[in-house]
Structure 1
Amino acid sequence: MSEQRTVAVIGLGIMGGPMAANLVRAGHDVIGYNRSREKVDALVAQGGRGAGSVAEAVTGADVVLTMLPDSPDVEGVAGDLLANARPGALWIDASTIRPDVAARLNGAATERGIRMVDAPVSGGEAGAVEGSLSIMVGGTAEDVEAARPVLDAVGSTIVHVGPAGSGQTVKAANQLIVAGTIQLVAEALVFLDAHGVDAEAAVEVLAGGLAGNRILDRKAAGMIAGDYTPGFRVDLHHKDLGIVTSAAREAGVAIPLGAVVAQLMGALRARGHGSLDHSALRLLVEELSGLK
C-alpha cells in the first residue's frame, strides 16, 4: 500500500498489543518490543516482527509508537529511542503522561532531528481492539498529518488539538470526565439496587435519555455483574488523576468534583484494588454504603 510504513511499537500491553495488531492488519511492517517476551511473541504470531531491545526496534523505523504506563516509563526509553532512531523519523507517543514531560521530550526529539507528536488515546481496551480509539494529538500541523496514516489504523477520531503537550492536556481532561462519570454511574447502580429496581432495565432507559454516556454503554454491564476484569486499571487512572490535579493546581483552576473523585480512586487503590478495572469504583460506593 502507498502509505505502508515500518512502525516500531514500544509497549505491547493491554492497549499497545491490539494497536500493534491493527497496524499489521492495515499493511504496515510492524516491529514490536516489550519487556515481557510473551507479548512480543504474540505480535509475531499475528504477522509482526519482534525486537529484543528498544534500540533494535527503532533502528531504521519510519515511525516509532510508544504506549507505556507513565511519564518515567516514556522518559526511560527516550534515551535509546532518540539515540537510535534515524533522522527524520516520526515518534508518536500514545502514552498518557504529564503535559510538561511531553513538551520537554518533543524539544529533545527536535534537537536530534526526530519529529514527535503526543497522541494519547481514549476508548480503553475495547477501542484498541476495535481500532476505534479517539486520539487527541499535540504537535505541529505537518507532523500530525505525517502521523495520520498510522493513527488511522488504530483510531476513528483523530483531532489535532494544538502544539506539543496539548494532546496530553486534553487527555487529562478526558480522564477527569471519565472518572467522574464512572463514579456517578457506580452511585446510581448502588442506589437502584437499594430500591430493588432491575438495574439492566434501568440502564437501558437511562442510556437512551439525557443521562446516556459511554460508561453506561461500555461499563455498566460489567459493574452490574461485578466483573472488574481490567480494561483500564485503577492504578493507571489513579496516576492520571494525579496528572489532572497537579496540572489544574499549576493553572490555578478549581476542580472540586475532580478532586473528590481523585481521592475516591486513591482510596480504592489503597484498599488493594489497583489491578481491577476503574469501574470497580462501585465497590467503594458499596463499602461506603455499608453493603460490603
Structure 2
Amino acid sequence: MSTTLTPTTVAFIGLGAMGSHMVRHLLAAGHTVRAFVRRPEAAEAARALGAEPFFTPAEAARGASVVFTNVTSSEDVREVLLGEQGVIHGAAPGTICVDHSTISPIVTREIAAALAARGIEALDCPVSGGTMGAEAGTLTIMVGGKPEMLERVRPLLQQLGKTITHIGDHGAGQVAKLCNQIAQVVNIEGIAEAMRFAAAQNVDTGRVFEAMATGMAGSRMLDLMGPKMVARNFAAGIEARLHDKDFGLARDIAEEIGLDLPAMQATSAQLRTLMANGWGKDDTSSLLRVLEG
C-alpha cells in the first residue's frame, strides 16, 4: 500500500555507512532531518548531506515527529533512546521512534515499554539489504509494533525500502531479522565449504561457482559471496563483525529458551574463529579463510 505524507521533521541517530544513505533519501523526499553527531567533523558531514547536526540525542529529537535510530548494539540503542541525554528527554508525547538497528528482541521490548511510559511510540524496523540496499533505497524492512504506528510512518519507510512487512508486536521485527541472519550466514558457510571442497581436489572454483549458480544451489548469497571467494576478494561488503554480533544475539536467545540449532551453532563457532583471527572488519566471505586454517 502506498500512502502520502507531507514534509515533516525527523531526527536521525546513526549516520554510518547505511544511515547516511537513508538520510539522503529522506532529505530528497523533502523532509527536514535533525541528526545526532558526536564529533565536529561528523557535524560537517551531516551539514554536507543537508541535515542539521546536534550533539545529543535529546536535542536532535526536539521538534521531530519521528526519530530514526540505526546503531550497532542493544546497549547503544538503550543509551541513545533512554540514557541521560537520550531521546526520551527531548521527544514530545506522540513521537514515534523507529529503530533500524539489529538488536535483542528482549531489549527492544524493554525499550518500547520505557518509551510508552512517557507517551512515546516505538517500532522495531531492522533492515536487510546492506549498504547497497540503503544506497538504492531498496531495503527490506521487518516491523514489530502497533500496525497503526506503522501506517503513520509508512510513507517515510517507503523512501528507504521497497518491501515493508509487519511481523507482529514489539520485538517481532527483531526476531524476523535474526531469522534472516541465521539463514543468510549458514548459507555463506555452506558456500565457503563448497569452495573449499572444490579447491582441495584441484577443481576450478570459478567453474564450480558458475555451475552452482544456475542449479538448485543458486541463491542471492551465492551470487554475492561466490565471486568474492573465487577471486579471494575479502574486502568488506558486509563486515563479518556485524554478522558475529547478530549471531551472538541469536545464540544467546536459543540457549536461554533451550532451542537446539546445530547449523547455527556450528556457523557461530566459525564466526568466532574468524574474529579471533582479526578478520572482523573484512567480509563474511572470510569464512573460507577459516576453513583453510
Q: Which range, TM-score by smaller chain?
A: over 0.9
Structure 1 residues 219 and 49, CA gap change in structure 2 (3 angstroms): farther
Structure 1: tracts of 5 or more residues without a match? 288-292
Q: How far did 1:169 drift? A: 0.8
Report the Cα distance in structure 1 between the residues aligned to 2:40 and 2:181, rounded to whole angstroms: 30
| Counterpart residue number, 1:44 | 47
Q: How far did 1:151 drift? A: 1.2
Matching residue within 32, 37, 53 for 1:34: 37
**Is 2:30 the partner of 1:24?**
no
SS at match of 1:188: helix
Pairing of 1:33-182 with structure 2 (within 5 A): 33-79=36-82, 80-182=86-188
Contact 1:8 / 1:31 at 8 angstroms: preserved in 2? yes
The list of structure 1 runs, each at least 4 consecutive aligned residues, that deviate by more than 6 angstroms after superposition, is none
The TM-score, its normalising length taken from structure 2, stands at 0.92
Give the partner amino acid of 1:18: H
Moved more, 56-65 or 226-235: 226-235
Matching residue within 221, 230, 246 for 1:224: 230
The TM-score, its normalising length taken from structure 1, stands at 0.92
Contact 2:123 / 2:144 at 8 angstroms: preserved in 1? yes
Q: How far did 1:199 drift? A: 3.3
Contact 2:57 / 2:81 at 8 angstroms: preserved in 1? no
Contact 1:3 / 1:149 at 8 angstroms: preserved in 2? no
Q: How far did 1:238 drift? A: 1.2
Q: How far did 1:206 drift? A: 2.0
Give the partner amino acid of 2:278: G
| Counterpart residue number, 1:3 | 6
The one-character-per-residue Cα deviations of 1:119-150 (angstroms, maximum 9, x if unpaired) are 11111111111111111100011111112112
Give the partner amino acid of 1:12: L
The one-character-per-residue Cα deviations of 1:174-203 (angstroms, maximum 9, x if unpaired) are 111111011111112222333444434433
Moved more, 62-71 or 76-85: 76-85
| Counterpart residue number, 1:184 | 190
CA-based RMSD of the aligned residues comes to 1.7
Aligned length: 287
Q: How far did 1:106 drift? A: 0.6
Report the Cα distance in structure 2 between the residues aligned to 1:148 and 1:35, rounded to whole angstroms: 29
Structure 2: tracts of 5 or more residues without a match? none
**Is 2:242 the partner of 1:236?**
yes
Moved more, 74-83 or 162-171: 74-83
| Counterpart residue number, 1:290 | none
Report the Cα distance in structure 1 between the residues aligned to 2:40 and 2:198, rounded to whole angstroms: 45
Moved more, 28-37 or 93-102: 28-37
Q: How far did 1:27 drift? A: 2.3
